[in-house]
Amino acid sequence: MIIVVRPNSTQEQIDHIVAHIHSLGLRTDVSQGIKRTVIGVIGEEDLVRNAPLAAIPGVEEIVPILKPYKLASREYQKEDSVIDVGRGVKVGGGYLGMIAGPCAIEGREILFEIASAVKAAGANILRGGAYKPRTSPYSFQGLGEDGLKLLREVGDELEMPIVTEVMDPRQVALVDKYTDMFQIGARNMQNFNLLNEVGQTKRAVLLKRGMSATVADLLMSAEYILAGGNKKVILCERGVKSFDSSTRNLLDLSIVPNAKGLSHLPIIVDPSHATGRPDLIPPMALAAVAAGADGVHIEVHSCPEKAMSDGPQALLPHQYAAVMNQMRQVAEIFHRTIPVPHGKA
């Protein structure tokens, strides 16, 4: 950590700052430039990071040098994490997780129809929401446990691992009974108690980036799960808030190589929630694969006009099959593989 001292500070003030830092058990390295004095703070990492140095009089600015996350960092683990989601599907290290399915679980028949179609197209993880975070209390909130059962049944029948959202620490134990992977939604990325709770389980976690979270914020939230003992975290970019309302959010593909430089965790891209527009999903899905994403998450519905949630942004099954074909071609250029799921859960 670097402390920049206000210009025209007296030697006495500088001495007070240094003494204060020493009293916290830290060491200092004082460098006097022509216009500014700068103090390097050296010591045990956590001690440095948590010291409230900005409140000392005379301190102009605190410049953190060390990253605030540890277990999530590339320095902690050099090799890419490869997350085993179940049924032979791995994500990371060259394996792509192709997640597809409807926004909400609406009924067995329609779910089976969509799931069969996306599996035939090459999807290897089935998604569906049983608990829906809706901005309006008057919108459809999901089928709850009945939905979880349907998703488990259809996943088993088609031999696909499944992923579903969990919104509340009180739901974790129940959802854990049914799912192969938890999804933490963007609105809950900093619901720290929920992160703690899934950190206690052994299931993979798909952690979606919050709408105004930096890459460091996202990795700090991953750190909560990792610190709980659960190493199976998959990051997910799904768009950030923007000033241009012509898309639902702004897809930030640069976070893919950015996160991969800072962290060993895999990262998947969700162009459905990012753009909210079926015409933009295929090109953004292709761009995601080219950017190095470890998978793509796409909502598919066989009758968007009648979907109970987010219908307008879903691809039709034949549209999904077409973009999947192209994604496969792009992936081949970079020697990446889409595992085919199979066998028992």
The distance of closest approach from Cβ of residue 103 to a second copy in the complex, given in angstroms and rounded to an integer, is 10
The distance of closest approach from Cβ of residue 181 to a second copy in the complex, given in angstroms and rounded to an integer, is 20
**CA–CA separation, 44 and 46 (whole Å):** 6
Provide the b/e sequence for 272-298 (b: ≥16 CB within 10 Å).
bbbbbebebbbebbbbbbebebbbbbb
Residue 336 structure tokens? 């990446």
The distance of closest approach from Cβ of residue 126 to a second copy in the complex, given in angstroms and rounded to an integer, is 21
Residue closer to a second copy by CB (options 84, 250) is 250
Residue closer to a second copy by CB (options 69, 178) is 69
The distance of closest approach from Cβ of residue 17 to a second copy in the complex, given in angstroms and rounded to an integer, is 10
Phi then psi dihedrals of residue 98, to 5 deg = -105, 95
Residue closer to a second copy by CB (options 65, 345) is 65
Name the β-bridge partners of 207: 184, 235
Is the alpha carbon torsion for 42, 43, 45, 48 positive or negative? Answer: negative
**CA–CA separation, 317 and 150 (whole Å):** 20
Phi then psi dihedrals of residue 80, to 5 deg = -55, 135
Q: How many residues does the chain have?
A: 345
Cβ-based neighbours of 61, under 8 Å, separated by 6 or more: 3, 4, 54
The distance of closest approach from Cβ of residue 234 to a second copy in the complex, given in angstroms and rounded to an integer, is 18
Residue closer to a second copy by CB (options 153, 252) is 252
Residue closer to a second copy by CB (options 4, 159) is 4
Residue closer to a second copy by CB (options 89, 267) is 267
The distance of closest approach from Cβ of residue 323 to a second copy in the complex, given in angstroms and rounded to an integer, is 11
**Three-state secondary structure call for residue 6:** coil
Residue 287 structure tokens? 């761009």
Residue closer to a second copy by CB (options 11, 245) is 245
Q: Where are the alpha helices (DSSP H) in the chain?
A: 11-23, 45-50, 108-121, 145-158, 172-178, 192-199, 215-227, 255-262, 271-275, 281-291, 317-333
The distance of closest approach from Cβ of residue 106 to a second copy in the complex, given in angstroms and rounded to an integer, is 12
Phi then psi dihedrals of residue 39, to 5 deg = -120, 120
Residue 295 structure tokens? 């998978």
Residue closer to a second copy by CB (options 162, 291) is 291
The distance of closest approach from Cβ of residue 291 to a second copy in the complex, given in angstroms and rounded to an integer, is 4
